[in-house]
Amino acid sequence: MDKKTKIAVMMAASLASTSAFSAEKKIKSFSDIELGLETINYSEKLNNLAGYGQLKQDINVYNITTRNSAYVAINDEYGLYLDGFASLAPSVQTETWSLGEFGDIQQNDFKINHNELAFRLSYKWTEQHRIISGFRLSSLSFIRSHFEFEQPGADEFNAQLAADGMDPFVLPNGDISDRYKSNVAISEIQDELIALFGYRYEPNELPNRGDWTWYTGIEAGIPIYSITQNTTIQGETLNEFFGGYSLIGKLGLRYQLFDNLGLLATFTSYYKYRDVVTEDKGNGNSVSVPEVNFYNNAFTLGLRWSY
């Protein structure tokens, strides 16, 4: 073999090695699909209901949930995350309302759905650290039904209202003969556009077959604009800008079953706060929905397909 041939062979081997190394280290795109259980804690409160104390409720609901996500690699530094989740087969729980010194005054059935879709741009700051920003479209809705008075609180509250010359506390029923029960259903839906900023740490983005890997991340969100509709507020839509905030934490574990297929286990904790939303109708009249604290904790299992 002459000198020129040797040089050509060495260059070809070097290029092939470099190409193989680049292909091996190339950041992959992937899609995740997961199914699991979510626990939703939902609480509302009005700090002072017409001078009679704080009106509040607090309830836990358990739903089946699906969590889907995809990562599209633009290059070794930038990529797009597309995420979505939804509540499935929401359970029905009993909700109890209390008012100041009167204690429990009402109970009813309650079920809730939480659905979101997120679009985020990811920048790989260092080998294990990513900075993420984008927005979420969020929809939170609930239905309340089968209302009943809780005693003795409801009667004691109505006795105080009568002594003060006020209209009585009634269930959301219009006029029925039995004032202690109502089968009317009330619903509310809040849709939000949320700006978010986050961070993700993943020690090993490119696991080999048989590897166990993990990641963690956190995001903070501000609702740029929200729309709230409640069936107790006839013909009205409440609009709000920057009325709250949200925080999301996630911890994931992955086992690389094959070169392009992994098993996933993920825990996600989501907190959302909404301030009281009030709209002035003029002439001293206004409509409002109360302050809300919302927690959604979910554990899911699923698959990751890399490509």
Domain assignment present for residue 16? The answer is no
Domain assignment present for residue 3? The answer is no
Indicate the pLDDT class of residue 272, thresholds 50, 70 and 90: very high
Quote the pLDDT of residue 122: 95
Number of compact structural domains in the chain:
1
Q: Which domain holds residue 68?
A: 27-306
Domain assignment present for residue 255? The answer is yes
33: β partners:
68, 303
Distance CA 254, CA 266 (A): 9
Domain assignment present for residue 9? The answer is no
Give the sign of the dihedral formed by CA 63, CA 236, CA 275, CA 191.
positive
Query: Rounded to two decimals, what is the model's pTM?
Result: 0.82
Quote the pLDDT of residue 284: 66
Residue with the larger pLDDT of the pair 232 and 221: 221
The mean pLDDT of 265-274, rounded to a whole number, is 96
Domain assignment present for residue 14? The answer is no
Domain assignment present for residue 270? The answer is yes
For 113-150, write each residue's pLDDT tens digit.
999 999 999 999 988 899 999 999 999 999 999 899 99
Quote the pLDDT of residue 230: 85
Quote the pLDDT of residue 198: 96
DSSP symbols for the chain = --HHHHHHHHHHHHHHHHHHHHHHHPPPPEEEEEEEEEEEEEEEEES-STTS--EEEEEEEEEEEEEEEEEEESSSSEEEEEEEEEEES---EEEEEEEGGGEEEEEEEEEEEEEEEEEEEEEE-SSSEEEEEEEEEEEEEEEEEEEEE-TTHHHHHHHHHHHTTPPPP--SSSS-S-TTEE---EEEEEEEEEEEEEEEE-S-SSPPTT-EEEEEEEEEEEEEEEEEEETTSTT--EEESS-EEEEEEEEEEEEE-SSSEEEEEEEEEEEEEE--EEEEEETTEEEEE-EEEEEEEEEEEEEEEE-
Average pLDDT in the chain: 86
The mean pLDDT of 62-66, rounded to a whole number, is 94
Residue with the larger pLDDT of the pair 10 and 2: 2
Q: Any long-range contacts for 90-98 (C-beta under 8 Å, 24+ apart)?
A: 90/61, 90/63, 91/61, 91/62, 91/63, 93/59, 93/60, 93/61, 94/59, 95/57, 95/59, 95/144, 96/57, 96/59, 96/150, 97/55, 97/56, 97/57, 97/150, 98/55, 98/56, 98/57, 98/153
Quote the pLDDT of residue 276: 83
Quote the pLDDT of residue 1: 52
Looking at 261-265, 282-286, 295-299, which range is the least confident one?
A: 282-286
For 179-209, write each residue's pLDDT tens digit.
677 778 889 999 999 999 999 998 887 788 8
Question: Which of 160-169, 203-212, 273-282 ranks highest by mean pLDDT?
Answer: 160-169
Domain assignment present for residue 19? The answer is no
Domain assignment present for residue 6? The answer is no
Quote the pLDDT of residue 288: 78
For 4-63, write each residue's pLDDT tens digit.
444 344 334 443 433 333 344 456 789 999 999 999 999 998 888 888 999 999 999 999
Beta carbons of 282 and 290 less than 8 angstroms apart: no
Indicate the pLDDT class of residue 232, thresholds 50, 70 and 90: confident
Q: What is the CATH number of the domain that holds 275?
A: 2.40.128.90
Tell me the two tokens of residue 82.
């597309």
